[in-house]
Structure 1
């Protein structure tokens, strides 16, 4: 069963990795794009939410989910903006350095044991990511700023995962995504109005990347990870999420011709080896 959840996590991460592709293709501003990603997911989630058989969510958990949605909104704001300054691969890479926050937090807050093999896997994965990002062929100040935004994204994403991991024992993944979406929408709408003004899709060309984000990245990707957090530890999930920049690099190579250097390919290989060790903790 553990291996099933492992492969399911990789599948959900593959869906999540499509986010950078759709953001690149979106003709709206980065914050507005994030707003519609979450907004369009709500009516899709609603029928599943209504037929949910589990108990009603208590007010305390609703509040926590709204707050987690706010953190996810911060994640999307910084992440989407970072694509204007750096590559799809690097934006995904740095945004998923959540083990820096997740692993210590789980140890001190949730008393999760961390084995030596897991720490070795974490070290190898982070080493691979360092090799991957330093293997970038063209570096400039814009890249550095974009990389910084993407790294800050990882902090907000870690806070989102930590709250969901705690609440997930009492509520379903559908309830997590549905309630947190409202927290995200409020923050994203305010940020969009302040920084970009009123913006909405006026053609199919502008609309379809937003629908793609809602279905593949928000529901199948983020929703899938919310489901899996009820099955595996947050520490292991945070390591498996490190596969997202690897998958994104492959997507970007195929769709945007963002070539990979030999050093970047080596970094990807080391990340995969690190994940292999971590999953056997």
Structure 2
């Protein structure tokens, strides 16, 4: 999808792609978890914290544990994303919730153009259109309008806006911090918010079986550490407007895994939807020579102490 002359961009796109595919697996683990939706959302981030803390300590040392405003904001946005996603699932059809939640690239592109003053090429707009058509085709005839589902549909739309905020906040935080630090601080903020929500909304936080507990651990490791972590890494090298499109692959991943593991066959229309999304990504791909976003390179472990000292000197 990229020229050999742009290895950093190619690596960033590959990293985002893997992250999107990993995030698409979350629905499988949520279905296997025997706790309520808000409890599963809490465990998704809480169980990821020890792994993220180890990653941050190895990558950046004690400086990684220092909270910063942008990463905390990213965590609050992601908490809102998970909260309203589950409200959408409870208040409307899964198909409606999926369609509306996948409009987040539209909001990200709009913000990038109107606020960040970034230019989106004609190919970029065409790619966005193809990805939206593909997402609609993947949901197929299951999508429907019902006035009784309006509160749930509205929650699905709010979900997309919260994820757009999360995506842009992580991209912004990566300007000054490494991926490990951003993930640790943002996930800790998300866990604190979701803990309060789960206590209020769920009868119990604890899984009732070993299978349910294993599903929650897999949810944390695959979707949060793997999916979100790869996203934070990849955003250092990919323009946000295109990076947002890559996350349409989350819908493709969910459909493929559902067919392989849950015996939910993929229809011809859904297959066409997957091809449209892939086509949209090819059309919208950044061209060689396009400047990647300004970001802080991730530090190796041995450079953590030096970086921490520099940060202290600069008052960051």
TM-score, length basis structure 2: 0.79
1:162-206 deviation per Cα after TM superposition (whole angstroms, max 9, x unaligned) = 111111111011111110112111211111122114421243122
Q: Which residue of 2 aligns with 1:241?
A: 247
> 2:106, 2:18 → 1: CA distance?
23
- Distance verdict in 2 for CA 1:42–1:63, change over 3 Å: same
Q: Which residue of 1 aligns with 2:301?
A: none
- What secondary structure, in the 3-state scheme, does the structure 1 residue paired with 2:60 have? coil
Q: Which runs of 5+ in 1 are unaligned?
A: none
User: Which residue, 34, 41, 44 being the options, matches 1:27?
Assistant: 34
Q: Which moved more, 1:6-15 or 1:134-143?
A: 134-143
Alignment of 1:187-266 (within 5 A): 187-266=193-272
- Distance verdict in 2 for CA 1:96–1:226, change over 3 Å: farther
- What secondary structure, in the 3-state scheme, does the structure 2 residue paired with 1:257 have? coil
> 2:96, 2:31 → 1: CA distance?
13
Q: Which residue of 2 aligns with 1:102?
A: 108
Larger Rg: 2
Q: Which residue of 1 aligns with 2:3?
A: none
Asked if structure 1 preserves the Cα contact closer than 8 Å seen for 2:77 and 2:162, the reply is yes
- What secondary structure, in the 3-state scheme, does the structure 2 residue paired with 1:51 have? helix
- Distance verdict in 2 for CA 1:199–1:58, change over 3 Å: closer
Q: Which residue of 1 aligns with 2:15?
A: 8
**Cα drift, residue 262 of structure 1:** 2.6
User: Are 1:66 and 2:66 matched, yes or no?
Assistant: no
Question: How many residues get paired?
Answer: 279
Asked if structure 1 preserves the Cα contact closer than 8 Å seen for 2:12 and 2:233, the reply is no
> 1:96, 1:138 → 2: CA distance?
16
Asked if structure 1 preserves the Cα contact closer than 8 Å seen for 2:96 and 2:144, the reply is no
> 2:125, 2:261 → 1: CA distance?
34
> 1:95, 1:190 → 2: CA distance?
24
- What secondary structure, in the 3-state scheme, does the structure 1 residue paired with 2:68 have? helix
1:235-278 deviation per Cα after TM superposition (whole angstroms, max 9, x unaligned) = 11100111110111111122223333332322222122111111
TM-score, length basis structure 1: 0.89
Q: Which runs of 5+ in 2 are unaligned?
A: 1-6, 288-316
- What secondary structure, in the 3-state scheme, does the structure 2 residue paired with 1:184 have? helix
**Cα drift, residue 56 of structure 1:** 3.2
**Cα drift, residue 141 of structure 1:** 7.6
Alignment of 1:16-95 (within 5 A): 16-53=23-60, 56=63, 62-83=68-89, 86-87=93-94, 91-95=97-101
> 2:240, 2:137 → 1: CA distance?
25
Asked if structure 2 preserves the Cα contact closer than 8 Å seen for 1:68 and 1:164, the reply is yes
**Cα drift, residue 57 of structure 1:** 6.1
